[in-house]
Amino acid sequence: MKYLIVLSVLGLWLSSAWAEPALPELDEFIDEMVTEHQFDRQELNSLFSQVEVKDSILKAISRPAEKAKPWYEYRNIFLDQARIDAGVRFWQQHAQTLAKAEKEYGVPAEIILAILGVETRFGGNMGSFRVIDALSTLGFRYPPRSPFFRKELQQFLILTREEGMSPAEPVGSYAGAMGLGQFMPSSYRAYAVDFDGDGHRDIWTNRADAIGSIANYLKRHGWQAGEGIVYPTQSKDGTLPEALIERGLKPSISREEAKAAGLSLAKLPASANQLTVFSLTQRDGESLWLGEPNFYAITRYNHSRMYAMAVFQLAEAIRTQYERQQ
């Protein structure tokens, strides 16, 4: 009997010690999940003994396109004809669902489509990493943002328990984003919706749920139905209004402030009075833009002005071609 007890204790110690060099502070994380969220310790030990730390994940997160490329190169990644064509086909196939989402949440169909196009090419590329591997690698081996990814790992484990999924199976991006709309686990739990009423929130294979979830996310992050998004502007003296740009993406600039700084309001609707000012690098210099709250809402999906502009311009291109074919 003593021999069996020793073996059992040794087995538990080894299952914990196996992962410790690869996943520092894993024991503390498991303790937290057991104490605060009533997970089974042995099940978590078994799960994390299967986790693979991926160097490719650490390399990918260190060089995101938003930071590595200027706008005129970044834009070309997403504004290609194949993606526009795919967006039109997706619209034709799911027109009723997109119309329902637009009516319920106020988000135009083309914006939903553009996010699907930028994120996963309408489901064609939803990622190839196991979510448990991605979040564990970044949560324990990427110090700059380990608290964020460890929290997402916690949310992922809770999510899979809620939805009755095996945590070892879901696949997503190198950052742990999941499904057609690439929701992080906390966003999945907070904003994913059962848009077709089948009793499940499935953003991997259910196009209706993916459409409704993206629209709900934008609505919950301040999307204003019927309002504009972004407009080009120019500086009268040709210089960048650095003081306004430095105020960030959240709209806090009145049209009077923008005008006083020498920016043209010729393209701006008369109703627009809550603005952000930003620039994008073109081949021949910087272009200036005025964003409304809806532009800011898109940046809540990905905190990048280039991402939001890519979504906006892809949306315009998809709508133009869709209407031409109607």
b/e map 189-208, b = 16+ CB within 10 Å: bebbbebbeeeebbbeebbb
Give the model's confidence band at 65: pLDDT under 50 very low, under 70 low, under 90 confident, else very high: low
Residue 63 confidence (pLDDT): 80
CB half-sphere exposure, 304, CA atoms < 13 A: 16
Q: Strand, helix or coil at 134? A: helix
Residue 66 confidence (pLDDT): 65
Residue 21 confidence (pLDDT): 53
- Provide the total of helices (H) and of strands (E) in the chain, helices listed first: 17, 5
pLDDT digits (tens, 9 = 90+) for 207-232: 999 999 999 999 999 999 999 999 99
pLDDT digits (tens, 9 = 90+) for 252-286: 999 999 999 999 999 999 999 999 999 999 999 99
Residue 192 confidence (pLDDT): 98
Q: What is the pLDDT of the chain when averaged over all its residues?
A: 92
Q: Strand, helix or coil at 178? A: strand
Give the model's confidence band at 238: pLDDT under 50 very low, under 70 low, under 90 confident, else very high: confident
CA angle 23–24–26, rounded 5-degree value: 70
Res 17 pLDDT > 90? no
Average pLDDT over every residue of 155-163 = 96
Q: Do the Cβ atoms of 27 and 20 come closer than 8 Å?
A: yes
Res 18 pLDDT > 60? no
pLDDT digits (tens, 9 = 90+) for 166-180: 999 999 999 999 999
Res 300 pLDDT > 50? yes
Residue 62 confidence (pLDDT): 85
Average pLDDT over every residue of 148-173 = 96
Is 119 catalytic? The answer is: yes
Alpha-carbon distance of 184 to 131, in angstroms, equals 10
In the set 25, 43, 104, 119, the catalytic residue is 119
Residues 6+ apart with CB under 8 A from 196: 97, 206, 208, 209, 212
Share of the chain above pLDDT 90, in %: 89
Residues 6+ apart with CB under 8 A from 67: none
Residue 326 confidence (pLDDT): 83
Q: Do the Cβ atoms of 52 and 132 come closer than 8 Å?
A: no
- Ordered by start, the domain boundaries in the chain are 230-291
Give the model's confidence band at 47: pLDDT under 50 very low, under 70 low, under 90 confident, else very high: very high
Q: Strand, helix or coil at 15? A: helix
Provide the 10 A C-beta neighbour count for residue 179: 26
- Asked which of 1-15, 105-119, 237-251 is least confident by mean pLDDT, the reply is 1-15
